[in-house]
Amino acid sequence: MAEFFSKPMRFITFIREAAAAKPAAKKPSTSSKGKSPAAQAKIDDKHVAITFGRFNPPHAGHGKLLDAVKNHSGDSGNYRIYPSRSQDHKKNPLSANQKVDHMRKMFKGHKDAIQNNEAHRNIFDILRDLHDEGHEHVTMVVGDDRVKEFETLANKYNGMHYDFKSINIKSAGARATDSDDPIENLSASAMRKHAQGGDHESFHHGTGGYKDSKKLMGDVITGMTPPPKAKKGKKGESVHESVWTYAPKLDFDAFRDYYMLNQIYKVGAIVEHDDTGMVGKIVHRGPNYIIMEDGLGGEHRCWLQHISEVAQLGPSDLSHKQEVAADTTKDQSNYSADDGSGNTWKAGTDRYREALQDMTPGQKTVKFTDFRKSAQTK
């Protein structure tokens, strides 16, 4: 009888021992670097490939740039396209929303990577956000002629305004100007010229056959229409924008002549760097470049064809006068009732009231509150 009960006990013991000796579950296979796919993906997510550009307007040639950014995204496929936020009636006729809308339709394979965030006004805003998201490595893809410029600029503030372990600048590929491939010779300047000239056939071809090319061209034309003040001329005279104003690359000689005559980009003017989106004041003019404040406490050299002047309010604008009057950081000793000799007759003060009453024949020097009291008793 005892042997009968002992057998089940031995069986239970056997089961327990077998469970304890069960081999560990097989781990997922590792990559060539010796890390599991999940861990590898986590590491790769610390890297992001980006580009920043005007895309004004977007054309078929931009597709090659977007493909290059994706190719540099690594195993994670993490990449982003940042269209600039600039808009004016010369070199930037499309708004950011218009650009994004058209780009997502033109480049459907990249639509999820195309960003539209008002906070991303320049490359520094973008890099700060990427760092705050936890990215440790950034690859920027830019035009072949801008690699050195971006290497200097992006790394200049690394460790100050953002802190990446690495920032690599890659070329999207040199443009072969002698190529038979029409895509190689496409440019936003040429597209704006086609739009301004009403040449939809060439414009459509430049978009690579984009089905909404007519709408895109219409948006460009509308955006290039100067504001009413800029269209005024002599009676009977029609005013047209010169090619160099909206496509300086296509008429660089005229563009540079205006610059050398100090008609544009004067010292003190506020300009935007087209390649990075940074805005600052011109502090020096060179023969074919300017030096501008970069907005972060430093200065940056920019080629003339890569900047756009930012419209500012002039002294005749009411809002400009209001700004000046409201600026209490400036000396307001001459904002008085007389000719600006520096007295203290500020409007609304007792000193101002007393001075006016004293100069008025037969007028007693009385407080304004006394006028109200006498008015109430009548």
User: Rounded to an integer, what distance in angstroms lies between the CA atom of residue 17 and that of residue 20?
Assistant: 5
* pLDDT at res. 213: 96
User: Rounded to an integer, what distance in angstroms lies between the CA atom of residue 311 and that of residue 302?
Assistant: 19
User: Rounded to an integer, what distance in angstroms lies between the CA atom of residue 257 and that of residue 241?
Assistant: 16
CATH architecture of 42-174+185-189: 3-Layer(aba) Sandwich (3.40)
DSSP class per residue in 109-138: GGGGGB---TT--SHHHHHHHHHHTT--EE
User: Rounded to an integer, what distance in angstroms lies between the CA atom of residue 232 and that of residue 226?
Assistant: 10
136, 168 contact by CB (below 8 A): no
If you ran DSSP here, which 8-state letter would residue 162 be given? B
> Residue 235: is its pLDDT beyond 80?
no
Q: What are phi and psi of 168, to 5 degrees?
A: -110, 135
Distance from the Cα of residue 213 to its chain's centroid: 25
Task: Give the closest residue to 287 by CA, choosing from 263, 259, 258.
Answer: 259
pLDDT in tens, 279-329: 889 999 888 888 998 877 888 888 888 888 887 645 554 444 444 444 444
DSSP H or E run through 376: helix 368-377
Please report which confidence band the pLDDT of residue 38 belongs to, taking 50, 70 and 90 as the band edges: very low
User: Rounded to an integer, what distance in angstroms lies between the CA atom of residue 88 and that of residue 159?
Assistant: 34
287, 304 contact by CB (below 8 A): no
The CATH 3.40.50.620 domain(s) of the chain lie at 42-174+185-189
* pLDDT at res. 273: 86
- Which parts of 164-268 fold into alpha helices (H)? 188-196, 200-206, 213-224, 228-231, 243-246, 252-260
Q: What are phi and psi of 70, to 5 degrees?
A: -60, -40
Collapse the DSSP code of 63 into the 3-class scheme (helix H, G, I; strand E, B; otherwise coil) and give the result: helix
pLDDT in tens, 339-370: 444 555 566 667 777 777 776 766 666 665 55
* Percent of the chain whose predicted confidence (pLDDT) is above 70: 64
User: 47-61, 116-130, 182-196, 218-232: lowest mean pLDDT where?
Assistant: 218-232
Q: Helices 147-156 and 123-132 sit at what angle, rounded to 10 degrees?
A: 50
* pLDDT at res. 367: 65
User: Rounded to an integer, what distance in angstroms lies between the CA atom of residue 66 and that of residue 276?
Assistant: 17
| Of 253 and 307, the one with more pLDDT | 307
User: What's the order of all strands across the beta sheet hosting 279-285?
Assistant: 299-303, 289-293, 279-285, 270-273, 307-309
* pLDDT at res. 29: 38
* pLDDT at res. 28: 40
Q: Which amino acid is at 226?
A: P
- Mean pLDDT score across all residues of the chain: 76
* pLDDT at res. 194: 94
